[in-house]
Structure 1
């Protein structure tokens, strides 16, 4: 819960501090501007709220690691929902309205997470998992999207050190293989998910792990 709160608070704070003109810069998500990514975060926050009030009585079918599907190809932005996001973001008109909506819904999602019983089971995406596992999975989500948010904003603050480490650990569990110790947590996440191409030296350090990359999470 502490890592969920830290990662989500850091991400929302980073959004709040972005100058309006930077909302038109590209993000680290293919085909999305910063404003589009922020709009996606609003929907993510809504998903958290919905999931936390969708109880399940059956046994868990996934945990924080198996919650993630690994796709064979990266998103192109042409998926119907992905393509809808830029239109929704543009409809806000002004960055301050997007910031307000994210702060409003995002704060509610954060409070709901704090109040939730972490041993309780919830249902989402046709699966059942504990609240604790669901929130743990979102530490990876928030951290990756924080990196996406600041991909072309060099002066923006990075995710907290402890959430970068936790996200790396989660990605290594998904991959079933640890990243080289020489990789920083940030580089492991960027290279591991295809957000950055590894250098020749990094490819050499990865060795056979390279064949598993990138890990496209969905």
Structure 2
């Protein structure tokens, strides 16, 4: 869809105030790359990504969730199971977090 846009369309305002179409497309691509990189990184990086997500959220994921599961659930890549939902409690109602 984006590849079919003429160059001049990228300089047009987007639906987001102050953002051109080019700005919005770049933002979405970078966010998608960040998510993909997070999901395929070694365990040490997953722990760092989890800590960053918890800092943004202002709350910690339950210790019963692995770093990978916390990131998948926290970013909406998968829904929590019933037991994970119970462990998340009221905090689970704020998920997924949308970053960017």
TM-score (structure 2 length as normaliser): 0.65
The residue aligned with 1:106 is none
Deviation per CA, 1:124-174: give whole Å up to 9, x if none. Answer: x9xxxxxxxxxxxx9xx63x2222xxxxxxxxxx31111100000000001
- C-alpha distance in structure 2 between counterparts of 1:216 and 1:190, whole Å: 12
Q: Does 1:176 align with 2:58?
A: yes
**RMSD of aligned residue pairs (Cα, Å):** 2.1
Deviation per CA, 1:164-214: give whole Å up to 9, x if none. Answer: 000000000010000000101010001001110000010000001111111
Map of 1:73-88 to 2, 5 A cutoff? 83-84=1-2, 87=3
The residue aligned with 1:30 is none
- C-alpha distance in structure 1 between counterparts of 2:55 and 2:99, whole Å: 13
Query: 2:82 pairs with 168, 184, 200, which one?
Result: 200
Unpaired segments of 5 or more residues in structure 2? 5-18, 20-29
Equivalenced residues, count: 73
The residue aligned with 2:47 is 165
Q: Does 1:145 align with 2:36?
A: yes
Normalized per residue, the structure richer in strand is 1
**Using CA pairs below 8 Å that are at least 6 residues apart, which structure has the higher relative contact order?**
1
Unpaired segments of 5 or more residues in structure 1? 1-82, 89-124, 126-137, 148-157
- C-alpha distance in structure 2 between counterparts of 1:210 and 1:217, whole Å: 16
The residue aligned with 1:212 is 94
- C-alpha distance in structure 2 between counterparts of 1:186 and 1:178, whole Å: 14
Runs of 4+ aligned structure 1 residues displaced above 6 Å come to none
The residue aligned with 1:11 is none
- C-alpha distance in structure 2 between counterparts of 1:214 and 1:173, whole Å: 14
- C-alpha distance in structure 2 between counterparts of 1:175 and 1:212, whole Å: 9
